[in-house]
Amino acid sequence: MKIAVAKGDGIGPEIMDAVLKIFKAADTPLEYEFVDMGKWVFDKGFNNGMTPEALQTIEKLGVLFKGPMETPKGKGVKSINVTARKTWNTYANKRTFQTLHGVDTVFSKAGIPIDITVVRENIEDTYGGIEHMLTHDVALSRRFITRPGSLQVIRYAFEMAKQKNARRITCGHKANIMKITDGLFLECFYEVAKNYPELQADDVIVDDLCMKLVTRPDSFDVVVLTNLQGDIVSDLCAGLVGGLGFAPSANIGDHISIFEAVHGTAPDIAGKNIANPTALLLSGFGMLRHLGLLQSAVMIENALLYTLESGVHTGDFGDKSKPSVNTTQFADAIIANFGKKPSHNPKPDLVDVPSACTVFNLEKNAMMESVEGENEKIVGVDMFIESNVQPEEIAKKCQRHAGVKFKLINISNRGTQVWPTGSRYTNLVNQYNARFESLDGEGLNQQDIIGLYVSLSGDFKIPSLELLNMWGDKKGYSLAQGQ
């Protein structure tokens, strides 16, 4: 079975060589096609951090095993890690955090076992990276949460939880504040939950979730979150089990999957052969299981657990009274322990069920779209206006341009209403949102909106606008604070 391998930057080549050495010693039935990805590829002029040949190889093979990669700073290029995940629609980022005996934490010392799987939406949210300066003082980031994208990752999380025999699956969210975006994600969660009555499904506001994770982590099993919140929470969970050196990651898509460590390139120790390869090795176990190579995964994982339990450690963890080993020695110790099982949580022997990746020759991009339940109606528009005058002056000018189809409903600044009511203690920036709605409550068309835009542009610079949509009685827009 052939997979694509990218060694990465910094410590990437060292830890990848260590992991592949372990796989070879275990007679793991894999062949490797090495591809060119990373900062050095950026430096050669490839703005996505990979050569065309690398992209073609990965799309042909369907699996990429990669080391950590660095994105050049200050060159206006996107993260290669995010680009790879989004390009190939690896929509589910699965990160598993387990107590490892030999890796001391406050929870292991207290006898509190941790086994948490975080499933992070991997494509959308602020990681779309769609940002604009609306004025010289105001930056905008667009946060996309879609129904098809949410359903995709949530279905994966429920199916994975079912296979894991999880007792609980939790949706972390901020729907109490972001009622439309996080609200949509939460709505999709409970929509999918109806198909899995055997699983206990609940939700927790993300700040409360973080507090509960550091006080009672053993009460959680599978947690599914949006992209940014999932990134933060998964790093928090890494801290519960010893740090990013023990945080594996699988990026799962329908056609292509990527397996990588969560941690970075650690340039300060690159080339010294002292890096800890455990996170990449744990990611490799996820890859082997994904490919059905269960026997190899179990044998190597038991050897790793036995090695950790025996006190063998690299310099970043373990009993400091015992000398640490380097990267190569750590790999050799694992190989020497093949066939041994740890006294704590040994993995049961399994038989391989190889499942070579199906190669898809896609002729066009898949369009994901749900059925529109009720007819859409445009009922108004938010005009984002650049100005440094007071709200009353903005309102007078806006009302003059409202015409016979629009009425000015309110004006807000940074999401807080400042007209028709407000407080002098609300600090302002030089961008207002003037909300216009249909004067007679009837639907509007885009020509009406363009007409208002043209009229207003005589008095204001309008960097952005958003239509106010409704589906039946359901508003597709939020209210301002104080509205």
CB atoms within 10 A of CB 195: 11
Sequence-ordered list of residues with C-beta below 8 angstroms from that of 244, at least 6 positions apart, any chain:
235, 238, 261, 262, 263, 264, 279
Q: What is the pLDDT of residue 48?
A: 84
pLDDT of residue 80: 85
Under DSSP, the state recorded for 172 is E
- 437 in any annotated domain: yes
Per the structure, the count of domains in the chain is: 1
Predicted pLDDT at 261: 92
Euclidean distance between CA atoms 238 and 219, whole angstroms: 16
Give a yes or no: residue 99 inside a domain: no
Q: Angle, to 10 degrees, between the axis of helix 181-193 and the axis of helix 147-163?
A: 40
pLDDT for residue 442: 84
What does each C-alpha distance from 400 to 127, 172, 351 come to in angstroms? 40, 45, 76
Residue-wise pLDDT for 309-356, tens only, equals: 999 999 999 988 899 999 999 999 999 999 999 998 899 988 888 775
Q: Are 130 and 142 in contact (CB under 8 A)?
A: yes
Residue 399 lies in a domain: yes
For residue 304, the surrounding DSSP H or E stretch is helix 294-309
| Burial letters 354-379, b for 16+ CB under 10 A, else e | eeebeeeeeeeeeeeeeeeeeeeebb
Phi, psi of 228 (to 5 degrees): -65, -45
pLDDT at res. 399: 96
d(CA 378, CA 477): 11
Alpha-carbon distance of 443 to 380, in angstroms, equals 8
- 425 is a domain residue: yes
Alpha-carbon span 277 to 246, nearest angstrom:
9
Which three-class secondary structure state does DSSP give residue 329?
helix
* 381 in a structural domain: yes
pTM: 0.92
The whole domain housing 401 covers 376-475
Q: Is residue 16 part of a domain?
A: no
- What letter would DSSP give residue 404? T
**Is residue 446 domain-resident?**
yes
Residue 231 lies in a domain: no
From first to last of the 483 residues of the chain, give the pLDDT tens digit: 899 999 999 999 999 999 999 999 999 999 999 999 998 888 888 888 899 999 999 999 999 999 999 877 766 677 888 889 988 999 999 999 999 999 999 999 999 999 999 999 999 999 888 999 999 999 999 999 999 999 999 999 999 999 999 999 999 999 999 999 999 999 999 999 999 999 999 999 999 999 999 999 999 999 999 999 999 999 999 999 999 999 999 999 999 999 999 899 999 999 999 999 999 999 999 999 999 999 999 999 999 999 999 999 999 999 888 999 999 999 999 999 999 999 988 999 888 887 755 666 788 888 999 887 778 999 999 999 999 999 999 999 999 999 999 999 999 999 999 999 999 999 999 999 999 999 988 889 999 999 999 999 999 999 999 999 999 889 999 988 888
Identify whether the C-beta of residue 200 lies closer than 8 Å to the C-beta of residue 168. Answer: yes
Give the pairing type, strands 63-66 and 2-6: parallel
Q: In sequence order, what are the beta bridge partners of 125?
A: 144
**Residue 142 to residues 30, 129, 139, 466, Cα–Cα distance (Å):** 42, 8, 10, 12
pLDDT on residue 181: 97
Q: CATH number of the domain that 454 lies in?
A: 3.30.70.1570
Interatomic CA distance for residues 452 and 275, integer angstroms: 61
Contact 282, 76 (CB under 8 A): no
Mean pLDDT value across the chain: 94
